Each structure stands twice: as structure tokens, then as C-alpha cells.
Chain A
Amino acid sequence: MQPLLEVRGLALRYPSGTQALIDVSIAVPAGELLVVLGGNGCGKTTLLRCITRTLTPTAGEVWLNGGDIAHLTGERLRQARLDVALIWQHAALVRRRSVLANVACGALGRHQTLLTALGLLPSIEMQAAADYLHQVGLSHLAKQRAGTLSGGQAQRVAIARALAQRPSVVLADEPVASLDPEAAQEIMRLLRRLAHQEGLGVLCVLHQVDLAFAYADRVVGLRSGRVAFDQPTSGLSQDAVRQLYLAEAA
């Protein structure tokens, strides 16, 4: 089956000369939760930034829905981005708006009207937004200000906002980094459900090896900007993962 997202031979060299990514190739098929592991500075976040195209890769391709987006700009890039949702390490909600409004904001890209440009929310999206909020189990907080939520709740709202975007691929950049273990498990369960039940392709960058083993379908190890391994969780040894962090310490 054609993967939803595929990066081929991706390379990125920062202007400072640091080679952050070297020949990285990863495919994310529909219905799979793929976790990327690796030590600090191994290129995980750079990889996500190349896929969302806040960075332009120096070489390689980023295939999304049958098109290469690695060198798109302007309006065509904006269109392409509609299909990829990013969940940030910190939920990045607009704190003074209601939870429901934050979720509905995810749909703005599909409603480019004068009214939405003036700050109104697309009214036909409000029911869908309420449904997504229900999916993450926070319907009762719809009217509350986003700034009043706990870290775990905010991250669930961020997931609902990502869903409101109706993407085919969801990226997550260390989404549980600032959460307690209980909330972290909840977020990982949600991400796995998006892959298995909604059929989305989910690529999640993590620091927690135990969560990767517990929830991922497949794990990619990054070491010094290269893919060290790429295999199903069932066949993955603890030792291979440990090597990722040892190599960094050495």
C-alpha cells in the first residue's frame, strides 16, 4: 500500500555547517503509529520541521498524498500543510480563548472567508469541533478558557485541534515531555487510537523508551542524523535502543 507520508534521502545542513540529517528515509502508512527515538540533538525535531516545511531540506524528498512538498512555497505550501497536523511539545493553545474555539481554529485553513479573516470561527465547523472534543473526553470543558487547563488536558485539546484540521498524517513532537506518567499514557493511547481506528498515519517523536515499546507499531532510531534502525516494535530489542543513547554519550 502507498504510504501516506514518505521521506526519501532527506538531508539538512544548517547554515552553521552542522549536518543535522543525513540520507533519512522513513515511510508512514495509514493506520500505523510510528515512534522516532533518539538522544538529544540526533535530528528528531529537525526531521519534523523538514516535514512541516518550517525548514527546507538541502536534499531529498517529502512525499505527501502523492506529491513532493520539499520545495513548495507560498499558497501551494499552505494547501499542502492542510493535510499534516502537528502536535507540539507544549499544547500551544490560545490561552484566552475557549477550549472549543481553540479546537475549531484547526479548521481555519479550509475556510478562507472574509468572516474568518476578521476573527470569526466557521460556524459549520462548531459541531465537528464539539465532536472532536468529545473524542478526547473533554466535552465538559468546552466553554472554559484554554489557559485554565492542566498540561494533560491542554495536550488533549491540541489533539482535538489537530483532528479538526482533518489531516491524513499527524506528527507529534515530544507530546508527553511535560506531562505526568498518567497523562502521558492517556495521550499515547489517543495517538494510537487515531492510527488504528481513524486510519491516520501518526509519526511521534519521543524520549520515553518504555512508552515507545508499549504503544508504537514501529520504531525508528535516529543517531547523529542517520537512521540507525527501522523495525516493528515486536522485533525490536532493548539493546538496539540502548545503543542509540550510548553512542551519543560516547
Chain B
Amino acid sequence: MSTTQLTAVRPWGGGLAIALRTVGFLFGLLVLIQSLIVVQARPQDLVSGFHGMVDIVSRSMPPDFAYLPEAAWPALETIDIGLFGTIAGICLALPLAVLAASNVTPSRVLYYLSRALIGFTRAVPDLVWALLFVTAVGLGPFPGGLALAVHSVGMLGRLFAETIENMDMAPVDALALTGANRMQVFTHGVVPSVLPALAGIGLYRLDENIRSSLVLGFVGAGGIGFQLLTAMNLFQYQDVSLLLIIVFVIVFAAERLSAICRERLA
């Protein structure tokens, strides 16, 4: 029955589908070609410049391990900027997320205001926040931490709010009907249900913030990035390679640690 109908339809549908697929393929190809033109992709430059890259790599070998004690402090600074940014970000994002979750928000006005605030902090890149805070509080790790905190609010606030919105509301409604007040319903019903998910998101953000804090040093907001920039400007490539090794270890360790903690929470 249905199979005979299908085979009867196929000659028509088959021709149409092939035509559509061809158009789709050509369109995809066009998109790719325009991107190659716009980025001025010239593979031959990569080939001709290859010996320059080899030169830099050879000059950066071996890494200068004598520089290690000097690099230790900026490395710690980088990790702590990420840590501070994440913790402060969570503290700012949590109350905003409660206001921005449609199922628990106390008022529509606050809902839209907090959504807008969360969107704004996300839309402005962390580098721009860092430049702003460097202007405000001067060079050093503190503006870096502040920049990450504010930028994290964007991602954390939105994901926290979505987690709260997607939670099972039955236990919350059940608690409200026992005569518990709003605050009790929140701390006994909402919080235990969403806490593991929120902690997971926070850990993921920590991993991301530590990576971001490496770059923030480029604009003078402290950490190992500043060291890296200075070493490159002074052509001290053996220091650069050591710093890159440290960066790799930090990023890899942060990612693994965050993943292990998230697995434990699940």
C-alpha cells in the first residue's frame, strides 16, 4: 500500500530531490569560494614563508628552563585571574539568573531587565571589558579578573536561567502547596534540584576563563600573557617556548580537572 505509493511517487520526487541537492551543493561551493576571496587566502605564501617559521622554531629551542622561577608568579596570576573571574561571575550571575528564569521570576519587568543585562555582558568581548577595567583600575591582574567576571555573567546567567527553566516543577509546586513560603520553596525545592547542573556549568566556565586569562595579559591585564608578549617583542624565543609549555600544562590541567569534577557531579 504505502510502499507502492512511494515507488509511484519516486520518479517525480527523485528528479526534484537531485535538482535540489545540486542547487544546495553549488550554493555551498559559492559560500566557500567567497570566504577564500575575502580572507585573501594564498597558500603559496604559506609555502614560501615556511622557512621563516622553521627559523623561529629552531631559535626557540631548547626552551630556557632557567626562566622558570621568573615565570612561576605570572602563571599563578593567570590561574587566579580565571578563578577570581569565575567565582565573582557566579556570584553576579546567580541572582540575575533567578530573575531571568521565567518560571521563578518575581516580576516581568525584572525578567526583561536581567535578560537584557545578561545579553549585554555577553555581547561585549572580554578583551574590551579588560581594556575598560585597565583604564579604570590601572594595569595588573585585577582588571583581568574583573573583565572575566563581567563577561562570564553573560554565559553563566543565560545557562543558569535555562537550567532553572528546564527543571521539573512538580516538587516545587508540591512544596508551595504544603504552606512553605517563597524563600523556603526556593531553597528546599529549586536549589537542590539545580545545584549539580549549576556547579557543572561553573566548572566548565572556570576552564574557559583560565584560557581567556592567558590572552588578557596582551592588553596589560596581568598574567602570563603579558610575559609572553614581552618575550616576543624582545625576540627571546627560548623564553617564549617555555611560556608556551607552561600555558599548555595549565590549559590541559584545567580542562582535565574541570572534566573530572563534572563527571563526579553527574
Contacts and interface: CB of A to CB of B under 8 A. Distances in A.
Interface of A: 52, 54, 78-79, 81-82, 85-86, 88, 90, 92-97, 105-106, 108-110, 112, 116-119, 121, 158, 161, 165
B193 interface: yes
Contact of A112 (B168, B173, B184, B188): B184
A94 B193 contact: yes
A177 to B, nearest CB: 14
B177 A119 contact: no
Nearest to A113: B184
A96 B179 contact: no
B244 interface: no
Q: Secondary structure of the B side of the interface?
A: helix
Contact of A117 (B173, B177, B184): B184
25 contacts: A52-B177, A54-B177, A81-B177, A81-B179, A86-B174, A90-B170, A92-B170, A92-B173, A94-B171, A94-B189, A94-B192, A95-B168, A105-B188, A106-B178, A108-B179, A108-B180, A108-B188, A109-B181, A112-B181, A116-B184, A117-B181, A117-B187, A121-B188, A158-B174, A165-B179
Contacts of A158: 174
Contact of A95 (B175, B181, B183, B193): B193
A117 B174 CA distance: 17
Contacts of A95: 168, 171, 193
Contact of B171 (A82, A85, A93, A117): A93
Contacts of A85: 178
Q: Secondary structure of the A side of the interface?
A: loop
Sorting the interface of chain B by its residue count into under 10, 10 to 19, 20 to 34 or 35 or more gives 20 to 34
Interface of B: 168, 170-171, 173-175, 177-181, 183-184, 187-189, 191-193, 195-196
Contacts of B173: 54, 92
A156 B57 CA distance: 69
A109 B188 contact: no
A81 B196 contact: no
A119 B189 CA distance: 9
A9 to B, nearest CB: 24
A82 B175 CA distance: 11
The 9 closest A-B pairs by CB, nearest first: A109-B179, A119-B187, A92-B174, A92-B170, A108-B180, A82-B179, A117-B183, A81-B179, A94-B171
B196 A96 contact: yes
Max chain A C-beta neighbours (<10 A), residue from B171, B173, B175? B171
Max chain A C-beta neighbours (<10 A), residue from B173, B179, B181, B195? B179
A109 B184 CA distance: 9
Nearest to A165: B178
A81 B179 CA distance: 6
Contacts of A81: 177-179
A119 B188 contact: yes
Max chain B C-beta neighbours (<10 A), residue from A79, A85, A108, A161? A108
A96 to B, nearest CB: 5
